[in-house]
A and B are shown apart, each in its own frame.
Chain A
């Protein structure tokens, strides 16, 4: 019986043809994105079709091929896998958004920047005004002042091929201030230009101190200071600097290089898709930070609860009179008020000093150094799967200790009040516990699956010298711009 060839080959060719046809007819559809994400289903579909075909042939009693998928076809499969993985990675990181000029228009390559000055405009504003600023591209700088008006000036940069195009674009994109009741709207009208000129408007504004401000944009740095009203920002890419805000702050950023806030009296909420550095100093309200950050985070003097949540780390501190410093590989904090909860599933060394109330700490990998200098002690539960633990307890503290390693050394430098139990009576590698209680105190449990455990007396001297920094760890997939150390 003559064997009929498979239908999969022709179908695959038709599929590829349809894809290219659609991508040329409808360039607006995200076909590249679809191909990059859904290509595995082509393999699944191919396999299912071929599987059904072979079962059908077998049922019809035809001669079966020696191999369901021939050598040539496997080569094609490998090619599809490599191509698909490449597309997926490229699509996810979208490097051209940083390069701009690759898919950017001719303007990016051949255009020239033309600068224009935005003449100063003023509009009266009520005391409790809500000021809304819509500026797609460009920075905004706002200062609160004892005045009853909104004052706007600034400059505009237009990148275009010819000066006449730039002049036209400048005329179309006049900065408007409109007032409706309590609301003052400032628009830079960049969306009016339909050509491929690239416009960036930098605004300098003075507003009544009592006003609240909302800024919407796509990219551009923001600098806001001396306001009694609230601040709300949503942008795709912005660095934000805030100083002296007497009300709440809410930042919603898809990407940011830097967020710096000093003297905010109200709640502070920051949501970033991909951020880098964050610096907070003197925050009066609750602090909530969400997102993944690849740089340094510093929190200092937060009067209320602080919550930090990233895909890798979960931190909650009740109050922070001292400071916390956080980067990709470490977390150090001093003078914290608990209950403190910290979980991290990335490799991270943790060093905490002078904290009160309960501590719940759980690491996947990393060293733990604890120095709960403040009295009386509270319950401590700290564990790491792999890493050293160094616990310094105050000399006169009461506690009930259980420090365990499943594989590693035990150093009891505290003294005779604690006993060291090695498993199987052997030293090294076997693991064991340092146990004991001093007076009637809270339970302190520290556990490592692998690593040395040291328990010492905190005599109030300087903290033990920090360990030499570890070599930088492999960057996570989500953060590609890591340049530290």
Chain B
């Protein structure tokens, strides 16, 4: 019963988490402080939201081979 929309919604959290961790890591070890890079989080969140909006409602996802079988 998984739709692409549900997949996108489910991976939104982990991707934001990775982005958040990466920005802190760049703050500590890279050249850009978090105070300058935080808008990336907004962009990522917005992009995922957008992806969720435009994803088809019920078709099986192309990334899941066993897609509609469940």
Q: Chain A residues in contact with chain B, CB under 8 A? A: 1, 37, 39-48, 50-51, 54-55, 58-70, 73-74, 77, 81, 84-85, 88
Whether A67 lies near B17 (C-beta < 8 A) is no
Partner of B67, one of A39, A40, A47, A61: A61
Asked whether B40 is an interface residue with its Cβ less than 8 Å from the other chain, the reply is no
Q: Give the dominant DSSP class at B's interface.
A: helix
Whether B18 lies near A51 (C-beta < 8 A) is yes
Whether A43 lies near B63 (C-beta < 8 A) is no
Cross-chain pairs A/B with CB under 8 angstroms, 11 sampled: A40-B22, A43-B24, A45-B21, A47-B14, A48-B14, A51-B14, A58-B7, A61-B67, A66-B10, A68-B13, A69-B16
Whether A61 lies near B10 (C-beta < 8 A) is no
Asked whether A68 and B24 contact (CB < 8 A) given A51-B18, A61-B66, A77-B17, the answer is no
Beta-carbon contacts of B34-67 to A below 8 Å, as 1s and 0s?
A: 0000000000000000000000000001011111
Whether B12 lies near A37 (C-beta < 8 A) is no
Asked whether B28 is an interface residue with its Cβ less than 8 Å from the other chain, the reply is yes
Whether A59 lies near B10 (C-beta < 8 A) is no
Residues of B close to A43: CB separation below 8 A:
17-18, 20-21, 24
- Beyond the given A55-B11, A58-B64, please list 4 additional residue pairs across the A-B interface where CB-CB is below 8 A: A39-B24, A40-B27, A48-B18, A63-B70
Question: How far apart sit A54 and B69, CA to CA, in the bound complex (Å)?
Answer: 17
Most B Cβ at <10 Å: residue of A41, A61, A70: A61
Q: Chain B residues in contact with chain A, CB under 8 A? A: 1-2, 6-7, 9-25, 27-28, 61, 63-67, 69-70
Q: Give the dominant DSSP class at A's interface.
A: helix
Closest chain A residue to B66 by CB distance? A61
CB distance from B31 to the nearest CB of A (A): 13
Whether B20 lies near A59 (C-beta < 8 A) is no
Whether A68 lies near B20 (C-beta < 8 A) is no
Question: How far apart sit A70 and B10, CA to CA, in the bound complex (Å)?
Answer: 10
Partner of A51, one of B6, B15, B23, B67: B15
Whether A40 lies near B11 (C-beta < 8 A) is no
Question: How far apart sit A59 and B13, CA to CA, in the bound complex (Å)?
Answer: 18
Residues of A close to B22: CB separation below 8 A:
40, 44
Question: How far apart sit A450 and B70, CA to CA, in the bound complex (Å)?
Answer: 64
Partner of A54, one of B10, B16, B18, B23: B10
Most B Cβ at <10 Å: residue of A45, A54, A58, A65: A58
Residues of B close to A61: CB separation below 8 A:
2, 64, 66-67, 69-70
Residues of B close to A65: CB separation below 8 A:
10
Whether A68 lies near B2 (C-beta < 8 A) is no
A-B pairs with lowest CB-CB distance, top 5: A69-B13, A43-B21, A61-B70, A47-B17, A68-B13
Residues of A close to B2: CB separation below 8 A:
58, 61-64
Residues of B close to A77: CB separation below 8 A:
17, 20
Question: How far apart sit A102 and B18, CA to CA, in the bound complex (Å)?
Answer: 36
Asked whether A81 and B24 contact (CB < 8 A) given A67-B9, A67-B10, A68-B12, the answer is yes
Residues of A close to B16: CB separation below 8 A:
47, 69
CB distance from B65 to the nearest CB of A (A): 6
Whether B10 lies near A68 (C-beta < 8 A) is yes
Whether A63 lies near B1 (C-beta < 8 A) is yes
Question: How far apart sit A58 and B11, CA to CA, in the bound complex (Å)?
Answer: 10
Closest chain B residue to A1 by CB distance? B70
Question: How far apart sit A84 and B34, CA to CA, in the bound complex (Å)?
Answer: 13
Most B Cβ at <10 Å: residue of A37, A44, A73: A44
CB distance from A295 to the nearest CB of B (A): 25
